[in-house]
Amino acid sequence: MGQLKEATRDFLKGRPFSEYLKSPHFYRFLQWKEHEKQRISAKYFYEFRTLGRGGFGEVCAVQVKHTGQMYACKKLDKRRLKKKSGERFALMEKQILEKVNSHFIVNLAYAYDTKNHLCLVMDLMNGGDLKFHIYELGKRGIHMERVVYYSAQITTGMLHLHSMNIVYRDMKPENVLLDAKGQCRLSDLGLAMELPKSKTICQKAGTTGYMAPEILRQENYRMSVDWWALGCSMYEMVAARLPFKDFREKAQKEEVTRRTLEDECKFDHKRFDDLAKDIIGRFLKKKVAHRLGCRSGDDPRNHSFFKGINLHRLEAGLVEAPWMPNPNIVYAKDAHKLRETSEVEDMTFESKDMKFFKEFSTGAVSIQWQKEMIDSGVFDELNDQEPNGHGYESDWKSSVCIIS
């Protein structure tokens, strides 16, 4: 197989590539790439209502003016980032999002800056987050059929991150968002880190109530912490509470390190079935070596809990969701209940700050931009005629005005 690939590569880079370079198709490709690399600014979008607020800014809905594509824009306040020394994490999140392309992770489409904000434009998720579904939609907790489905998608997303040596470190229902079709994706990679093989970290990071024992003890860890957090999240989806009684970090640390799981994490909710108890218990093993997902080649999706899901179809995005959002309902808290962010007094940006802003603001992300051009019909509209020498160039220049 290796020799065949090499022979094919050698053939294609010879005469076929030379002919391609002389063809109108190569000229068309260069024009598309040039347009893809255009500078992106706030003028590229219409801005709509605020969807949420956080420590560094807010998230609002935006629409690309020339294609009609809707996105969510995460606006990070430059002054607040500098005051809290959050630049490194913001850049790390942006760089990781650029690398990731998955059905199960919120994908990045554009990165740009304004006078006051750094902006990450990502997939718009209309169905709300899982925390909202657990606590705000009538009966507390989520039906087991949905727990199985969401857990399979979350696991697939985390396996994708882990395959790229990325540890998530902030797995919790609040960071799992549903799209308009009821499919869920991991979001907010602000604490994610890329760890080269064999490298470990002991940095304390995450959210109280979801942090693994090795994080609380500040021991070296890699991807194991994500599986613990998933176990906590699955328990919460069913029982509408975290598995350990006292949510305070100090108390939780004592519980996790001094008591057995059976003593403290009681599966006392009537909706836990045997398979749910088993898989959650395996995710919540205190010893990493015994925890589900932590052994080499271990795929948690092989557990019987997921026996009703075709994994190949799931990975292709072809498994229908057991619950669909109503397009006429906003699955989020009222705007006045959103957390307000305090104002930061004016501060002077230095040359290193300007260098950071430039490094962050790279414009369109290739795969997502190309997908938008295709899905919106712009690509077909600009390529519905065969190139005809000089006429093709003029056709392009007259047509490109609709998206530039």
Mean pLDDT of 313-327: 94
Higher pLDDT pick, 64 / 254: 64
Q: Is residue 259 part of a domain?
A: yes
Which residue, of 330, 356, 381, is where some domain finishes?
A: 330
Q: Is residue 33 part of a domain?
A: no
Mean pLDDT of 22-30: 88
Task: Determine which one of 113, 170, 188, 226 is catalytic.
Answer: 170
pLDDT at 380: 82
pLDDT at 139: 79
Provide, rounded to the nearest whole percent, the portion of the chain with pLDDT above 70.
86
Q: Is residue 29 part of a domain?
A: no
Instruction: Identify the CATH number of the domain in which residue 199 sits.
Output: 1.10.510.10
How many folded domains does the chain comprise? 2
Provide, rounded to the nearest whole percent, the portion of the chain with pLDDT above 90.
66
pLDDT at 336: 55
Instruction: Identify the CATH number of the domain in which residue 361 sits.
Output: 3.30.200.20
pLDDT in tens, 204-251: 999 999 999 999 999 999 999 999 999 999 999 999 999 986 544 443
Same domain, 160 and 56: no
Same domain, 352 and 270: no
Same domain, 298 and 272: yes
Split at pLDDT 50, 70, 90, the class of 404 is very low
Same domain, 110 and 154: no
Same domain, 48 and 110: yes
Which residue, of 306, 330, 354, is where some domain finishes?
A: 330
Q: Does the pLDDT of residue 400 top 50, yes or no?
A: no
Higher pLDDT pick, 15 / 346: 15
User: Which range (22-26, 106-110, 160-164, 167-171) has the least confidence?
Assistant: 22-26
CB 97 within 8 A of CB 120: yes
pLDDT at 215: 94
Q: Is residue 220 part of a domain?
A: yes
Token pair of 336, please?
């006045």
Q: Is residue 385 part of a domain?
A: no
Split at pLDDT 50, 70, 90, the class of 300 is very high
Same domain, 101 and 232: no
Q: Is residue 296 part of a domain?
A: yes
Split at pLDDT 50, 70, 90, the class of 260 is very low
Same domain, 276 and 232: yes
Residue type, 186: L
Which residue, of 330, 360, 388, is where some domain finishes?
A: 330
Q: Is residue 22 part of a domain?
A: no
Higher pLDDT pick, 333 / 202: 202
Same domain, 306 and 160: yes
Same domain, 326 and 346: no
Token pair of 187, please?
């979001």
Burial class of residue 302, CB neighbours in 10 A (0-12, 13-18, 19+): exposed
Split at pLDDT 50, 70, 90, the class of 265 is low
Domain boundaries, position 346: 42-125+336-371
Which residues have a Cβ under 8 Å from the Cβ of 27 and sit 6 or more positions away? 387, 392, 393
Q: Does the pLDDT of residue 304 top 80, yes or no?
A: yes
Same domain, 71 and 214: no
pLDDT at 203: 93
Q: Is residue 137 part of a domain?
A: yes
Mean pLDDT of 63-84: 94
Annotated active-site residue 273? The verdict is no
CA dist list (Å): 206 to 317, 337, 369: 29, 24, 31
Same domain, 57 and 147: no
Same domain, 175 and 64: no
